[in-house]
Chain A
């Protein structure tokens, strides 16, 4: 069965499905994320696909500072994603709140809720930087899958 598990582990990095959560973002980073799927940058050649349900996803991309209203929904959505999963924080908002730091409705960095695997900084990051971040996340998925097998 080791050939089969090797095939499964390789496929984990070749077909990463993305689910995007917007926790109060200004939408700049969201626009750059869907721009990555347009013909000019075409992330689909690496197998990336946006799915409609968190249960189908491998990589969860979070943008936006975590607002009070979206905190509960973020926690529930993150629980629904099956293992192995990778969390990517897009932009500088999930890391530190950017200009919204210290506001009464910002709940704080994403690190409080889940371990962030890849950080893509920028306000907003260039689509090429987003592709680099997603590519790195796909590589981490393969390692997690191999670790899961053991």
Chain B
């Protein structure tokens, strides 16, 4: 009969135990420990990518209309989270990060959530996604759009965006290899005259602001954009229907 641990047992009796006395001695988690989630609502652009990639569906978003825009609240439920940090990886603005806090113990599970909200103002709604001339219709923007708001037809060289679905997250702007996507204030519509113009001067005579100047002899048509109020009378009166706002 062999007792291989006997000298070890006797030796251990006289040495200091290797216990880390936890509640008396505070213990920190190691670097990069994936603990309690932290959320910065100011950086969040409400793209919803984190909700899509969360496998236990631990994230919920509520949108309430308030004065001046919408209040968007994200709630991260730690009692459902599996701490995989996929939401951290997929967040395009790095609004989510995991702290090293592992003390997630409570008598009431409602304490174990991270909540953040921000108010999204409506004036920002005016900026629209526009595609520049350098577009090669590679379809990368359409593939990466989380809301599937972009439609690109490579054969017919058409690029369209559904502005009501676009949440302006900016993922397409980053992914575009030609850097031709950007958010811009839409250009103001200006009065333009087409090629069918016969210089009949009917538009000039009917303009209430006298903004249009027509020279029949020299075949010149000019409009003063600052004076034009876009009433549309000239568009109605033109016999050739060559006036429009673009």
Contact = CB atoms under 8 A, between A and B. Distances in A.
A and B touch in the complex (CB under 8 A): yes
B18 A39 contact: yes
A42 interface: yes
Contact of A118 (B77, B79, B103, B105): B105
A119 B17 contact: no
Interface residues on B, range: 20 to 34
Interface residues of A, number: 30
Interface stretch (A6-14, A56-64, A68-76, A122-130): A122-130
A121 B79 contact: yes
B81 interface: yes
Contacts of A123: 81-83
A45 interface: yes
A42 to B, nearest CB: 4
Interface in B94-110: 102-109
B37 to A, nearest CB: 11
A29 to B, nearest CB: 12
A132 interface: yes
B78 interface: yes
Contacts of A99: 55-56, 82
B109 to A, nearest CB: 5
Nearest to A129: B102
Given A95-B109, A101-B57, A128-B22, A122 B104 contact: yes
Given A40-B18, A136-B105, 18 more contacts: A39-B18, A41-B19, A42-B17, A45-B21, A96-B77, A99-B56, A116-B109, A117-B107, A118-B106, A119-B106, A119-B109, A121-B104, A129-B104, A129-B105, A131-B23, A132-B23, A132-B103, A135-B23
Interface of B: 17-23, 27, 29, 55-58, 77-83, 102-109, 112
15 contacts: A40-B19, A42-B17, A92-B82, A96-B77, A96-B80, A119-B112, A120-B104, A121-B78, A121-B109, A122-B83, A123-B82, A129-B103, A129-B105, A135-B23, A136-B107
